[in-house]
Chains A and B, each alone.
Chain A
Amino acid sequence: MKTVLVVTLGAAIVNNVVLSQFLGLCPFLGVSKKIKTAAGMGGAVIFVMTLASLVCSIIDKFILKPANLEYLNTIVFILVIAALVQFVEMFLKKNVKSLYNALGVYLPLITTNCAVLGIAIKNAQTGYNILLSTLNGTFTAAGFAIAIIIMAGIREKIEYNDYPESFKGQASVLIAAGLMAIAFFGFSGLI
């Protein structure tokens, strides 16, 4: 129980995937203009990352490890994730229309999200079992959702503020992300 708590809390807040591990920055900077799109992206990432960590850890445990092929994990994981995203998109489009309408447009963008591959590799390297890997995936993605939604809120507010022309666009976003990272530092004593 204690390990579960440490893994989940650590993944979601203390070692926040965007603000302290720098994974998944492209969507964090790219699709954080409005709270609504940010929430959609966050939801899609939670969905895909949970599935991807589950599938990758199963493959790692039952195929790669017994065959002593761990060194192939980069190649295998990236292909599995790319295929998985495609399958999920097709499946949702056909069977779960409502979920597809909510998340569909974000799914293709997720293949290029380095956080998904990063977490799969991290799970394999730290040697988490299947349950812990899946939990780690879900809560890391939850941390991503928290960060991107807060960021979208900040961006909606600062859009109408008067600040130097040169800081318009990405520069102001990066400075705001830095301040958020300092705030998240406060959690570092938690576990």
Chain B
Amino acid sequence: MNKPLERLYNGIIKENPTFVLMLGMCPTLAVTTSAINGIGMGLSTTVVLALSNLLISILRKVITDRIRVPSFIVVVASFVTMVQFLLQAYVPAIYSALGIYIPLIVVNCIILGRAESYASKNPPIPSLFDGIGMGLGFTCSITIIGAVRELIGSGTVFGFNIIPIKDVAAGTHGYIPISIIVLAPGAFFVLGIIMAIINRVKLNNIKKGRKVYEANCKESCFGCPHSNICLNSASETKVINSNKANE
């Protein structure tokens, strides 16, 4: 369970933060206008995630339970500020393309989620690899989304021309880019269709009787990282409804 390789596999495939757990949606939609932006955002998040997991895991016996969330936030925010400076100094192009979404790595639910559910309970080395695995899983998925959007929206991937573009001035025939895909609505469409494909695979698995994730926990599903892949999970508003009922 705690072997470094197993953590990497878990983060990249089994519990992929974007496609399986559906965490960190804001950067996923916002920065994936091109594959290179996806990689930039993904790697920055990976660095923050790995280092904050490591530090939180080292400090896990010092931080008391009551103040753990503010402490986690301070740790994460410090690393985000460092990454922000590094990007500004060495890759200003990426820095300006990602803009406000770099400081917003702080509120990315993947990072606090991993700190809470893994790093605060496990030794430093597995936590470091858990962070790297989750980060790489995130990087892979948003690079894939970025590449799809870039390919459909402007006919290129990583800035290289893949499909010959129709050029009226030069009189060449070719592909007319569907530019709405790189604009805001396209982000929703692409992610929606990807989600539908994943649902389809999941439904097929259930039909064939393959094993799907089923937790036997009694806690509320709200905020549970597995709520999207778990059969027991009811609606997302379960907590709110139960709170309402208590009043």
Contact = CB atoms under 8 A, between A and B. Distances in A.
Interface string B177-217: 00010011111110111011101100100000000000000
B81 A167 contact: no
Contacts, number: 130
A interface secondary structure, majority = helix
A101 interface: yes
Contact of B26 (A33, A114, A166, A171): A114
A175 interface: yes
Interface residues of A, number: 51
Interface stretch (B125-133, B144-152, B237-245): B237-245
Contacts of A182: 180, 185
B235 interface: yes
Contact of A71 (B29, B85, B108): B85
Contacts of B183: 185
Interface string A107-143: 0000011100110011001000000000000000000
Interface in A62-86: 71-75, 78-79, 82
Q: In the complex, which of the residues A30, A71, A75, A112 has the most CB atoms of chain B within 10 Å of its own CB atom?
A: A75
Nearest to B185: A181
A174 interface: yes
5 contacts: A24-B26, A31-B240, A74-B77, A78-B107, A170-B22
Interface of B: 22, 25-26, 29-30, 69-70, 73-74, 77-78, 80-81, 84-85, 100, 103-104, 106-109, 112, 180, 183-189, 191-193, 195-197, 199-200, 203, 235-237, 239-240, 243-244, 247
